[in-house]
């Protein structure tokens, strides 16, 4: 079958997106619901319209482009990803999946089933501390109380941010996609080194890791650094250091099961050199593709913290921010995508995703698959994030061939 994806069009689309939220010091910052995020969203909306899609916005702000099929009431074949970024991120994380999906629609002939492209809002946790918010809302997993509780560093709640964009948080239940979906596919950069190391253009994802995230607040006693003997201290920061090392040790022990642990936030107060820290806040992320392994690390971490409280005389509060289950991609769609990749002539391999994605929530609604393309050095969430247009086009070629079969009138293409 002749290849139809245009690398030139993809290059032009990435160039348009690259200037939105670009920083002088390098990288791109498009925090969810920010001006830069909304500017990028407007660019995507225009690309959708030019590709012949009708565009609508759901109650959370997710952008949905739809091209009708010969049977408008048939369940749509859906593609999507996100366009928001971490602070100082790159122009490929999420964006590659959205632009590839739009390019697929441009290249499609008439289909029997409708085809939809979704831009999920707030996939990154950078602003409100919780990831994949748009796809959670899309799947009916987000409540008004959560919108009112989640806040950014300036104290702006998610509900307030939505109102600033003309959205009504009170209508969040209406964001749930209530109709059947035939299948959902997401193309994404790998955010790891496996594909590049193995010399493969495409990865077929077999499972998606999920995080358990915690805010851990340690309260000790702030005292004078010179006047307080070592054996009389209740140092919240040294206690926090033990927890940081415990996270590393426990995750390393379970590393063979694909579990990892990260302490990405450390805030110490009062933050003065000659004062023993009296309060420390940690942000801990435990994630993995095995639920049992991840849970084992979490249980051991909590047990270690309980022992530490007694031994060090500090109070520790553990607040669960999110606790999600890993997703196993159905063998049915993995084999289907393998066959499609074979037919496309690209080099591919099977691999799990160590990062979470919007697709993990869609898997509860419909057959869901993910296609990875390599990124240079495995670098992501960084100004150096980069993927070749040739690899993205190869992934998009697999994507369009899959959509063609799924959207065809055959009732059981997979």
Calculate mean pLDDT across residues 86-98.
97
pLDDT, tens digit, for every residue of 387-410? 999 999 999 999 999 999 999 955
Tell me the domains of the chain and their CATH numbers: 7-209+326-406 (3.40.630.10), 210-323 (3.30.70.360)
pLDDT confidence band for 414 (50 / 70 / 90): low
- Whether the pLDDT of residue 210 is over 90: the answer is no
pLDDT confidence band for 324 (50 / 70 / 90): confident
Omega of the bond leading into 270 within 30 degrees of 0 (cis): yes
- Whether the pLDDT of residue 258 is over 90: the answer is no
pTM of the model: 0.85
Distance in angstroms (rounded) separating the CA atoms of residues 283 and 341:
39
- Whether the pLDDT of residue 186 is over 60: the answer is yes
Specify whether the backbone of 115 is left (phi greater than 0), alpha (psi in -120 to 50) or beta: beta
- Whether the pLDDT of residue 228 is over 60: the answer is yes
CA angle 110, 139, 126 (to 5 degrees): 105
3-state secondary structure 103-136: HHHHHCCCCCCCEEEEECCCCCCCCCCCCCHHHH
List strand residue ranges (DSSP E) for 246-314, in order.
260-269, 279-288
Q: What is the pLDDT of residue 19?
A: 96
pLDDT, tens digit, for every residue of 229-240? 999 999 999 999
Cβ burial of 293 (10 Å; 0-12, 13-18, 19+) is buried
Average pLDDT over the chain reads 95
Q: What is the pLDDT of residue 1?
A: 53
pLDDT, tens digit, for every residue of 41-81? 999 999 999 999 999 999 999 999 999 999 999 999 999 99
Report which DSSP code applies to 414. Answer: -
Closest-CA residue to 41 (of 24, 23, 22, 61): 61
Cβ burial of 46 (10 Å; 0-12, 13-18, 19+) is exposed
């Amino acid at each position: 079958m002749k290849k139809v994806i245009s690398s030139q069009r993809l290059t032009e689309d990435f160039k348009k997106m690259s200037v939105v939220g670009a920083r002088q010091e390098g990288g791109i910052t498009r925090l969810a619901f920010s001006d830069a995020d909304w500017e990028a969203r407007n660019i995507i909306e225009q690309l959708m319209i030019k590709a012949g899609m009708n565009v609508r916005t759901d109650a959370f702000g997710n952008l949905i482009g739809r091209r009708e099929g010969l049977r408008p009431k048939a369940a749509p074949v859906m593609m999507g990803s996100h366009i928001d970024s971490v602070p100082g991120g790159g122009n490929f994380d999420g964006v590659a999946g959205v632009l590839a999906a739009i390019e697929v629609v441009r290249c499609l002939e008439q289909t029997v089933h409708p085809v939809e492209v979704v831009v999920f809002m707030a996939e990154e946790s950078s602003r409100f501390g919780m990831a994949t918010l748009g796809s959670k809302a899309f799947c009916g997993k987000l409540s008004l109380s959560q919108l009112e509780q989640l806040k950014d560093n300036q104290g702006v709640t998610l509900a307030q941010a939505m109102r600033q964009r003309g959205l009504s948080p009170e209508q969040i239940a209406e964001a749930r996609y209530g109709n059947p979906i035939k299948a959902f596919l997401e193309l994404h950069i790998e955010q790891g080194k496996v594909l590049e190391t193995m010399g493969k253009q495409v990865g077929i994802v077999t499972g998606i890791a999920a995080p358990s995230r915690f805010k851990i607040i340690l309260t000790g006693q702030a005292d004078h650094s010179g006047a307080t003997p070592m054996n009389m201290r209740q140092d919240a920061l040294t206690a926090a250091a033990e927890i940081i090392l415990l996270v590393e040790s426990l995750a390393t022990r379970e590393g063979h099961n694909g579990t990892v642990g990260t302490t990405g936030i450390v805030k110490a107060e009062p933050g003065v050199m000659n004062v023993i820290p009296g309060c420390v806040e940690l942000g801990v992320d435990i994630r993995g593709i095995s639920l049992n392994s991840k849970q084992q690390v979490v249980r051991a971490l909590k047990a270690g913290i309980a022992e530490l409280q007694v031994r060090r005389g500090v109070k520790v509060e553990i607040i669960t921010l999110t606790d999600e289950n890993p997703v196993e991609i159905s063998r049915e769609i993995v084999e289907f995508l393998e066959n499609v990749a074979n037919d496309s002539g690209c080099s591919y391999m099977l691999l799990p995703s160590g990062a979470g994605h919007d697709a993990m929530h869609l898997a509860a609604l419909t057959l869901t698959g993910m296609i990875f393309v390599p990124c240079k050095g495995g670098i992501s969430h960084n100004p150096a994030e980069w993927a070749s247009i040739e690899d993205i086009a190869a992934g998009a070629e697999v994507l369009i061939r899959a959509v063609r079969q799924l959207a065809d009138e055959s009732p059981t293409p997979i």
